[in-house]
Amino acid sequence: MAATGTQVFGQTVGRYEETDTPKGLLLPQKMGSILWAPMTIMGIMLVFAAFGMAIARAQLAVDLSEEFTALRIANFETIGQLIPGFMFLGFGMIFAGISFAIARILGVFREGGGLVQEAVGKGIKTPDMPITAWIFLMGMMMAMMVLIFTFAGHIYAATQVHDAWINATSSGIAGDQAALGRAETWGTWLEGLRLFAVGLFLTSIAFGLATIIKVIRFQSLRMKELAQGGTASA
């Protein structure tokens, strides 16, 4: 029968559960074991895609300096809206890969700690998810949703800026000023949202690392307790 406690080796830790058998991985930890590599790879691919667009845009700038056409400037401005969308979505997926890797590490501690305690045969203490872990998960999901929204926003802004310049007769005057205004307005808002999402991701990762520290402390205290003959009913 499971019991709960907050003391390990005479020190106060987060709430934990005492059982006779190891507890399984939590859902985020299972997802982390599967998704950390695919998310990281997709993020790297998006970053390289943005880099390729930047090279193409640089070539368009050279072409525009030689001869102005509406199609060239429309493509130039369109790619300019797409680059940050692809780049920051790539950053988001890389950060998500790091976050899933943190969840995987926590799963290894949870599973490995349970197996070690089971081998000793003096009961198993498994810590509950601390508040830092909840903040880590919620922050990561919010940041990813914001970056997906900004990516969609850049697609919209790219269509608007393309419509603005496709009928232009000179490099300084857009053919559709209303569409250009919408594109610039969206671009300004999206810049702030991108930076907010990156800051939220980095803050969430910091809370994830803090959770690892909490788990390591719990495990080290439990190992000391077992070394001195402590049982799960301590």
- pLDDT tens profile 164-213: 999 888 767 777 889 999 999 999 999 999 999 999 999 999 999 999 99
Which of the 8 DSSP states describes residue 220? H
Q: Which residue is associated with the tokens 């610039």?
A: 184
DSSP labels, 24-38: ---HHHHHHHHHHHH
Residue among 156, 199, 54, 32 nearest 106 (CA): 32
- In this structure, the strands spanning 11-19 and 124-127 are antiparallel
| Three-state DSSP class for residue 168 | coil
Mean pLDDT (whole number) for 53-62 = 96
Q: How far is CA 124 from CA 103, 145, 204, 234, in A?
A: 21, 37, 29, 11
Residue among 1, 94, 97 nearest 47 (CA): 94
The yes-or-no verdict on residue 6 having pLDDT over 90 is no
pLDDT of 9: 83
Q: Which two tokens stand for residue 23?
A: 């507890």
Mean pLDDT (whole number) for 110-134 = 91
Q: How far is CA 115 from CA 24, 119, 186, 222, in A?
A: 11, 6, 53, 13
